[in-house]
Structure 1
Amino acid sequence: MSVRVRRIYDPPEADDGLRVLVDRLWPRGLAKDEAHIDEWPKGLTPSTELRKWYHAGEGSYEEFRRRYEAELDAPEAAELLDGLRKSVREGRVTLLTASRAPERSQAAVLAELLKRTR
């Protein structure tokens, strides 16, 4: 039972477990059959507005995290998050993102939440 964050562009590893893409947009230059993802819960990703705000450099990671956690309280996102928590209890989950800084992305926020609530 563990959760980790990796870049979608890194080759899959045998111990990845359930591979979940947590980006709203499909990663550039990556063919779908090369991604080896198991799930792509778009309802769990940051809203387009929040994503654009953060990538425009208008706010800090801490503010992004706070706003994203608030979005995760919405019914659809909360239900998807609960499903992901169940998957983590059943085995390893690898959260995938195209972000160049995965440690400061929505994947890191999700990983932190999942580790806190196992």
Structure 2
Amino acid sequence: MQIKRAYEPKEKSDGFRILVDRLWPRGIKKEDMHVDVWLKEIAPSSKLRKWFNHDVKKWKVFTAKYNAELKHSTAIEEIIRLTKTHKKVTLIYGAKDEQHNQAVVLKEFLQKIISIC
């Protein structure tokens, strides 16, 4: 499993591409995105997303709050199924910050759950 910005070109090595943003990335046409599925339900809630606003000072709290949301997410089973069904999965996100975004938190969360299963 890997993560990749929506603005980077699709590569064959991406495998199955899952958009994990609640909002469609700005400036990209749907036909140009090349995602296999858009799981907006797995993204942070609108309230949490707006509160975080990509402020690195809020990163630790954001991570804790988003992990709590993921534990109660109905979409988590779907994304786990997809990661087990497909040999290679890439989580696609739109944020500029490659180290402080929901895809980073989601990838860690999924890796912990999948290693337990």
**TM-score scaled to structure 1, two decimals?**
0.86
Percent sequence identity over aligned pairs: 39
Residue 112 of structure 1: aligned partner: 108
Distance apart, 1:74 and its partner CA:
1.5
Alignment CA distance shift 1:104-1:32 (3 Å): same
Moved runs in structure 1, 4+ residues, more than 4 A? none
Distance apart, 1:56 and its partner CA:
6.6
Amino acid at match of 2:25: P
Alignment CA distance shift 1:10-1:71 (3 Å): same
Structure 2 distance, partners of 1:101, 1:9, is 12
Q: Secondary structure at the match of 2:12?
A: coil
Residue 94 of structure 1: aligned partner: 90
Confirm or deny: 8 A CA contact 1:97 1:107 kept in the other structure. yes
**TM-score scaled to structure 2, two decimals?**
0.87
Q: Secondary structure at the match of 1:29?
A: coil
Could you give the per-residue CA deviations for residues 68-87 of structure 1, whole angstroms, max 9, x where no partner exists? 01001225133234324424
Distance apart, 1:103 and its partner CA:
1.8
Amino acid at match of 1:101: D
Q: What runs of 5+ residues in structure 2 fail to find an aligned partner?
A: none
Residue 40 of structure 2: aligned partner: 42
Alignment of 1:103 onto 2:63: no
Alignment CA distance shift 1:70-1:95 (3 Å): same
Q: 2:4 aligns with which of 3, 6, 15?
A: 6
Q: 1:64 aligns with which of 49, 59, 62?
A: 62
Structure 2 distance, partners of 1:40, 1:105, is 17
Q: What runs of 5+ residues in structure 1 fail to find an aligned partner?
A: none
Aligned residues: 114
Alignment CA distance shift 1:33-1:64 (3 Å): same
